[in-house]
Structure 1
Amino acid sequence: MTAWARTLLFRLVFYVGSLIAVLAALGLARRSAPAVRRHAERWVRFHAWCAHRLLGIRTQVEGRLPEGAVVIAAKHQSMYETFELIRLLGEPAAVLKRELIGIPLWGRVVERYGVIPVDREGSAKALRSMLHAARRVVAEGRSIMIFPEGTRVRPGERPPLRPGFAGLYRALDLPVVPVALDSGRMWPRHGAKHAGIVTMRFGDPIPAGLSRLEIEARVHAAINALEG
């Protein structure tokens, strides 16, 4: 089967299955957030099954998965890691664009799951709102997952970190676990997906309390460790 045939089959199976999952989650959203999170775990396992069986893509983990509440700062090259990191880490709360909350049906579900919406305009009010949501998540004992470069990038690209990351780091006083990955080689933003192994390298925890320049430099270097 060609790469395009595998890609089209994946899209059919995964997106139809995801529509069913979102509709089921709407009913669960009336009950409790933990019920939605358990449902989300099944969804991300379904994504991993589709990626492995239909596309021939699987994950190789290097380093140790973090324990306890931390800030997960990851490279972002594809949709793949947005699902796979949740599968590996349990129930982290992702920092995501506020406009995604407005997507019909899906937005209501992810809001109930417990995420941290961020306004890209970066106003003081938006930052306060993000920090309030982040503190609520940490109080629940959950980790926070953020893509500090702010958007998906192609393999080899190393944009600077967005300023909101340093603000979150200072406010939460939590260690940061950087994650380097190379999903973009198999999962380009456009075009067919290719079989292969995605490496996710979890770095050693970086302690809280560092200066902005030091934390940004250390995280930027760590998440780009697979870029060659």
Structure 2
Amino acid sequence: MKLLRSLLFVLIFYPGTLLYVLAGLAVAPIGVAPMRRAVHGWSRFHYWLTRHLIGIEEQFEGEVPDFPCLIAIKHQSMYEAVATLRLFHTPVVVMKRQLSHMPFFGWLTQRYGVIGVDREAGAAALRNLITAGKAAAASGRPVIIFPEGTRVPVGEQPELKPGFAALYRATGLPVVPVAMDAGRIWPKGFVKSPGIVTWRVGATLPPGLLRKDIEAAVHHAINVLEHPASDIAMC
């Protein structure tokens, strides 16, 4: 059953994604607002499919922020990468530069407002991240970063990448850490499982903390939901 549900998801989601991309491109000349509505519609489309085809529910602990801040989220799967567009108010998302340069999709992400990071560029990537982060903070939109840098398997808690501290210092924004556990039911690979994704929004951390203190606080907060891989739903 999980295999069939996962297959149906793929057969509907990716063609549907193409339609949303084309819709976003079509309305982009009208203005940024209609284009962003298309992007948010795509995120809601993803949620509807994951809920009704895969059988995924969500539960929240804490309040979703509605003020300018740096939102640091645990990253275990593609699920949260799409869901953040639905859950947070028109966020600027820090993402792999390669994704923001894909044909059509990449152009749409750039128009929406993302920060593309070239992981191989070293110091140049940090400088670009700082410049783009300052511009994002000035826009009044929340900035989303996955501070561990990439998707990590359930149970792993790597150190935060230096880009997080650089962005925190450059933007002067408070940090809202968010733990989530989608990796238990949405692991890397084709088959997804039904179950509950928990989002735990931690206490807001003020700007201006020492690097070691903000990194320690965020690392702890985003990893409080870690579970062994054996907890993955078997139904």
TM-score by length of 1: 0.96
Q: Aligned partners of 2:30 and 2:128: how far apart in 1?
A: 25
Q: Hey, what does 2:187 align to over in structure 1?
A: 188
Deviation (angstroms), 1:3? 0.1
Q: Aligned partners of 2:93 and 2:152: how far apart in 1?
A: 18
Q: Deviations over 1:105-136 (max 9, x none)?
A: 10010000010111213533332222222222
User: Which amino acid in structure 1 is aligned with residue 111 of structure 2?
Assistant: R
Deviation (angstroms), 1:30? 2.5
Deviation (angstroms), 1:101? 1.8
User: Which amino acid in structure 2 is aligned with residue 16 of structure 1?
Assistant: P
User: Which amino acid in structure 1 is aligned with residue 188 of structure 2?
Assistant: R
Q: Hey, what does 1:160 align to over in structure 2?
A: 159
Q: Aligned partners of 1:200 and 1:69: how far apart in 2?
A: 19
Runs of 4+, deviation exceeding 6 Å: none
Q: Hey, what does 2:54 align to over in structure 1?
A: 55
Q: Which moved more, 1:123-132 or 1:56-65?
A: 123-132
Q: Hey, what does 1:117 align to over in structure 2?
A: 116
Q: Hey, what does 2:232 align to over in structure 1?
A: none
Q: Deviations over 1:18-72 (max 9, x none)?
A: 1111111112222322222111111111110000000001211111111210000
Q: Aligned partners of 1:14 and 1:180: how far apart in 2?
A: 26
Q: Which moved more, 1:121-130 or 1:88-97?
A: 121-130
Q: Aligned partners of 2:220 and 2:91: how far apart in 1?
A: 23
TM-score by length of 2: 0.93
Deviation (angstroms), 1:172? 0.7
What does 1:1-228 correspond to in 2, within 5 Å?
2-228=1-227
Classify the secondary structure of the residue corresponding to 2:199: strand
Structure 1 gaps, min length 5: none
User: Which amino acid in structure 1 is aligned with residue 215 of structure 2?
Assistant: E
Identity percentage of aligned residues: 51
Counterpart contact for 2:9–2:49, Cα < 8 Å: yes
Counterpart contact for 2:27–2:34, Cα < 8 Å: yes
Q: Which moved more, 1:116-125 or 1:140-149?
A: 116-125
Counterpart contact for 1:59–1:197, Cα < 8 Å: yes
User: Which amino acid in structure 2 is aligned with residue 151 of structure 1?
Assistant: T
Structure 2 gaps, min length 5: 228-235
